[in-house]
Amino acid sequence: MKNFDWITPATPEAAVQAAAQAGRAFLGGGTDLLPLMKSGLREPTGVVQLKGLTGMERLELTADGITIGASITLAALCTDTLVQRSLPAVFDAARHAATPLVRNRATVGGNLCQRPRCWYFRHPDYACSKKGGDTCYAIEGENKFHAIFDNTTCNIVHPSNLGPAFWAHDAVVVVLGPKGERRIPVAEFWVRPEEDMRTEVALEPGELITSVSCKPLSGRSGSAFEEVNEKQSYDWGLVACAARLTLDGDKASDVRIVIGAVAPVPLRREAAEAVLNGKVPNEAAAWAAADAAIAGATPLRDNAYKVTMLRACVKNAILTAAARARKS
């Protein structure tokens, strides 16, 4: 790791100003930036730390819904009763992430901005397409953890747990940049490799996520986030799904199904939502929706298992969300 300047601004505005200089990077919990620096993938000349910036550690019910400051840690998120009650999918997603040690450091903003775990991307010796090269080594290489959807140009899967959960709660990502504040609906927050190979999120250079606002549950509704892991901590999910639904009588309505860890960005599965909308969300309906969610998968040589696994994961997420809605 190379030496760098350590910059400690007091406000988000000052942080954005400090980061305007070329070669600088934001540091939230540092759980992704530091490994990237250690492996030589990022060599910032200055690191702007985001701890204690005004307003970035709030977690409250506002007119926008529930506003979560970008510097809130995953540990805070998965111990908060408001989040547990109103954004259960977000609560689950934070609780499933990493380990207690990592969750104590890792922040909401960092979780959305973390770079992919693809071992070709992470290895300094591979000039893969994501790093400006002309090849995705995973297409013909070792791809058991790679994408099963949208995987013709770059096979990463997005590692964020919160991404699908936020989307299930119709989140808006609030960012601050040199040109002022922007509010990005979460559906527009993700950038596919075909749009821009070098990034996964719609942040302009120097822009900082300050908060995320989510739509809380209301009426008889429930949400859930499920993931399937080989290891129960210190690992990323092999497949993930966030689901939200409202009960209209005993029928599901306003369904959201968002899958993670299976494509370069989280994917909302509207076809699966359509299958479930208007149906009693029982096991049969959940499997039918899950079938719709996996339709169109294009697995690679080593990851067809993820399709089978995803089907079960989507079914489980729907059933958990439905059970919670019935109890609400």
Partner 1 sequence: MADTNKRKLIGTSFRRVDAVGKVSGRTQFADDLSFPRMVFMKLLRSPLPHAQIVSIDTSAAERAPGVVGVLTGSDVPVPFGILPVSHDEHALCPDKVRFVGDPVAAVAALTEEQAQAALALVRVEWKQLDTIADYDDALDASKDLIHTYGDDHNFHKKVSLRFGDPEAGFKQADLVLEDTMFFDGNTHLPLEQHATIAVPEGDGRVAVWSSTQTPHYLHKALTKVLGLPAPWIRVIALTNGGGFGGKSDPFNHEIAAAKMALNLGRPVKITLTREEVFQCHRGRHPTLMSIRTGFRKDGSMTAQHLKTLLDGGAYGSYGVASTYYTGALQTVTYNLPHYQFDGARVWTNKPPCGPKRGHGTPQPRFALEVQLDKAAHALGLDPAAMRLKQLQPKDSITANWLRVGSMGLGPCIEAVMRGSKWLERRNAMPPGRGLGIACSSYLSGAGLPINWNHMPHSGVQLKLDRSGGVAVFCGQTEIGQGSDSILAACVAEILGISLQEIRLCVADTDLTPVDLGSYSSRVTLMMGNAAVQAAERAREILARAAAEELKLPGANIVFADGRVFDAADPARGMSFAAAVQAAESRYGTIGTTGSYTPPRAPGRYRGAGVGPSPAYSYSACIVEVDVDPATGIVRVPDVWIAHDVGRALNPTLVAGQVEGSIYMGIGEALMEESAFRRLPEKLSSALVHKFPNMLEYKSPTFLDMPRVHTSIIEEPDANGPFGAKEVGQGPLLPVMPAVSNAIFHALGVRMDQVPIHPWMVFKALEEKRRGGVGRYGPKAFPAVDYGASLDVPTPAEGGDGKARNADDIGVRGGTMSETQRQSQEKPC
| 222 close to 230: Cβ distance less than 8 angstroms | no
135 binds partner 1 (CB under 8 A): yes
Strand segments, DSSP code E, in the chain are 5-7, 24-27, 46-49, 59-62, 65-69, 172-177, 180-185, 208-214, 221-228, 239-248, 251-260, 267-268
119 binds partner 1 (CB under 8 A): yes
248 binds partner 1 (CB under 8 A): no
Q: Which of 124, 125, 249, 327 binds partner 1 (CB under 8 A)?
A: 125
4 binds partner 1 (CB under 8 A): no
Whole-number minimum distance, CB 213 to partner 1, in Å?
32
Whole-number minimum distance, CB 310 to partner 1, in Å?
9
43 binds partner 1 (CB under 8 A): no
Distance CA 265, CA 156 (A): 8
Distance CA 258, CA 321 (A): 13
230 binds partner 1 (CB under 8 A): yes
Distance CA 80, CA 163 (A): 18
Stretch that binds partner 1, among 79-87, 155-163, 273-281, 306-314 (CB under 8 A): 306-314
Whole-number minimum distance, CB 215 to partner 1, in Å?
29
Stretch that binds partner 1, among 23-31, 89-97, 156-164, 301-309 (CB under 8 A): 301-309
202 binds partner 1 (CB under 8 A): no
CA dihedral 260→251→253→215, nearest 10 degrees, is -70
CA dihedral 156→161→164→170, nearest 10 degrees, is -140
228 binds partner 1 (CB under 8 A): yes
Nearest to partner 1 of 214, 238 (CB atom) = 238
308 binds partner 1 (CB under 8 A): yes
- Residue of 71, 79, 74 whose CA lies nearest to 52: 71
34 binds partner 1 (CB under 8 A): no
Backbone angles phi, psi at 117, to 5 degrees: -90, 0
Q: How many residues form the binding site for partner 1 (CB under 8 A)? A: 30
| 119 close to 142: Cβ distance less than 8 angstroms | yes
Whole-number minimum distance, CB 299 to partner 1, in Å?
11
What angle separates helix 305-327 from helix 88-96, to the nearest 10 degrees? 140
Task: List residues near partner 1 by CB under 8 A.
Answer: 99, 119, 122-123, 125-126, 135, 137, 140-142, 144, 228-235, 238, 302, 304-305, 308-309, 311-313, 315
